[in-house]
Amino acid sequence: MGRLVRGLKEISSRPLAVITNGSLLFLPQVRADLLEADAVLPSLDAGDAALHKRIHRHHPGCTFERHLEGLRAFREEYAGRLWVEVMLMERLNDSREALEKLARRLEEIGPDQVHLLVPDRPPSEEWVRPASREKVELAREILGGAARVLSLYDPANFDLSGGKSLVEAILDVIQRHPMKEEDLRAALERYAPNRVQETLSQLQQTGRARLVTRLGGRFWVSASTRFQGEKREG
């Protein structure tokens, strides 16, 4: 990782951000590898070990205590921007009690910003739901002045102009980011308004894409993507 960070800094003057779950920051070498990044965005979604395990089902060696240890140590060593990401999920970590525990942990770490997000991609479990707007606002209130509510998902950003064909362009996108069915239809209305259903049929016929039901909606994903307890469609 250190070689990658240094190499990117050598070939580009743009700020470099590293998004990480933070589970290995308790290792000194991992922390050292990230010191030259302009911003590091680790995750912290729970304020206690039981909830952390329920959300992440972590490797036995990546405990909640080690996770906190790594975040605290990295904050002491790192001079760049530390932005902790918190994924808020309904009835998991969006209660006042859970948020107050999380606030105490974040106070120990001292990040420059706390980014509040909700799931916008299909989670591994079908029952996972994003926290409500009201609960996100509650989190912002409890987590204090460093908290920022982010909305990173914008279907208008999907670029289907690349690729040998429209179908290939869609396949390229869903390899990296599943697309909500209604968002894909909206995108196709921009690129091929008279061939929306035809393009979706061609996409399905490739055998390289499929529909899954998650977050109360349907998503197009790569055919190789696997989810626990999934319902296959199409």
State the pLDDT at residue 126: 82
Number of residues written out for the chain: 234
State the pLDDT at residue 159: 77
State the pLDDT at residue 154: 59
Closest CA to 232 of 202, 197, 207, 199: 207
Task: Domain ranges for the chain, please list them.
Answer: 2-149, 157-233
- Beta-carbon contacts of residue 3 (< 8 Å; ≥ 6 apart): none
Flag residues of the chain having pLDDT under 70: 152-157, 163, 228-234
State the pLDDT at residue 62: 94
Q: What is the pTM of this model?
A: 0.81
State the pLDDT at residue 213: 87
Question: Residue 91 CB: number of other CB atoms within 10 A?
Answer: 12
Class of domain 157-233: mainly alpha
State the pLDDT at residue 50: 97
State the pLDDT at residue 233: 52
State the pLDDT at residue 146: 96
State the pLDDT at residue 157: 62
CATH topology of domain 2-149: TIM Barrel (3.20.20)
State the pLDDT at residue 9: 93
Specify which residues 87 forms β-bridges with: 117
State the pLDDT at residue 188: 93
